[in-house]
Structure 1
């Protein structure tokens, strides 16, 4: 399993749920629960809260999560095919060996999230807070990271080829350690990247 920042261990779970199919987590709160091999395909979750939970082999395919929270959770070998997160809080959660095809994220707070080496190619994230997120080795070719707060994010060896980054905070991005070929940026971001490269812009 990928390590959390500073080597912090995943929270210990206190109960286990297997094959949690036909679930409706809306409005409920779950704390330190281990969910194993459950199928949450097409589930609609409005306001459900998961705190320090672990999900192993859970299928979130085509599910919709609105104003929900997955705080300091751990996701291992989970599938997020066509999953939508709207205004959700995933602060401090860790993702390991998961798939994210066609995943969409609108708003929400994903600060301190761990996505090292994640394959986010084609994923859309708009207006999402990703402060100090671990995006080391991220593969996000042709994804959209629009209007995202990436301040303090770890982006070493991230592949942002062709990524739409317009409106995102790139103040801590080091263009020497990130692949930015064909990435789409606005004029303000272009100035930030140019300055990071040690260049001077003159009329």
Structure 2
């Protein structure tokens, strides 16, 4: 496998590589890698803020502790890819394919993941506050340590999902489906009693129920 270490790379450098490569501590700031086949590539401690991977194939690619704020992944194939650590704030992943992908220990504040195609993908210890996640399916997923606070989650599918130490505080949840979801591990701060109808069919804790009923001046004992 081709390897680059501590290099500033251009699109031409990438295009001349035959097969997957490993990039370590490389600089790709603002680079245009759209529509390239980068399946199986490994990016470790690289920086590429403002770069474009739109339309690229990154199936099975690995991003470890990269800094990619503002990067674009529109329509990118990220099947079975892994993002571990790093800063992906304000990235644009609209229409990307994330099936069987894994995102862990990453900062994705303000990222746009609307309309992503994501079957059997995993989220763990991810900061998605202020993100846009409209029409994303989280059905039957177990979400661990995911912060969705103030995110736009309109029309998301949370049916049969399990929340473990997550936050939905002040998130926008219009037209979401929560049937069969276990919300006992979610912070529902900012949810009013009138909004609670969106959680029809979900499981909540006594404490969460008490908070909602407290708005009517009632106490649960």
TM (norm. structure 1) is 0.77
Q: Structure 1 residues 187 and 74 mapped into 2: Cα distance closer, same or farther (>3 Å)?
A: closer
Q: Deviations over 1:142-178 (max 9, x none)?
A: 2111110001001122222233321010212456521
1:85 aligned onto 2:93: no
1:68-88 per-residue CA deviation (whole Å, 9 max, x = no partner) reads: 111100113211121111111
The alpha carbon displacement at 1:106 in A equals: 0.8
Query: Which residue is equivalent to 2:133?
Result: 155
Structure 2 match to 1:201: 209
Post-superposition CA distance 1:111-146 (Å, at most 9, x none): 000001212121100011000001111222321111
The answer to whether structure 1 residue 113 and structure 2 residue 108 are counterparts is: no
Count of residue correspondences? 180
Gaps of 5+ in 1: 1-21
4+ long deviations beyond 6 Å: none
Task: Report the Cα offset of residue 63 of structure 1.
Answer: 1.8
In structure 2, stretches of 5+ residues that fail to align are 168-182, 197-207, 211-219
Range that drifts further, 44-53 or 93-102 = 93-102
TM-score (structure 2 length as normaliser) = 0.72
**Are residues 40 and 170 of structure 1, via their aligned partners in 2, closer, same or farther at CA, if it must alter by over 3 Å?**
farther
Tell which deviates more after alignment, 186-195 or 140-149: 186-195
Instruction: Let me know the Cα RMSD of the aligned residues.
Output: 2.4
Instruction: Check conservation: 2:20, 2:41, Cα contact below 8 A.
Output: yes
Residue 192 (structure 1) aligned to one of 177, 187, 190 = 187
Between structure 1 and structure 2, the one with the greater Rg is 2
Residue number in structure 2 paired with 1:67: 45
Cα distance in 2, alignment partners of residues 156 and 178 from structure 1: 6
Contact 2:57–2:77 (CA<8 Å) still a contact in 1?
yes
- Secondary structure of residue in 2 paired with 1:29: coil
Equivalent in the alignment of 1:26: 5
Q: SS at 1:201's partner residue?
A: helix
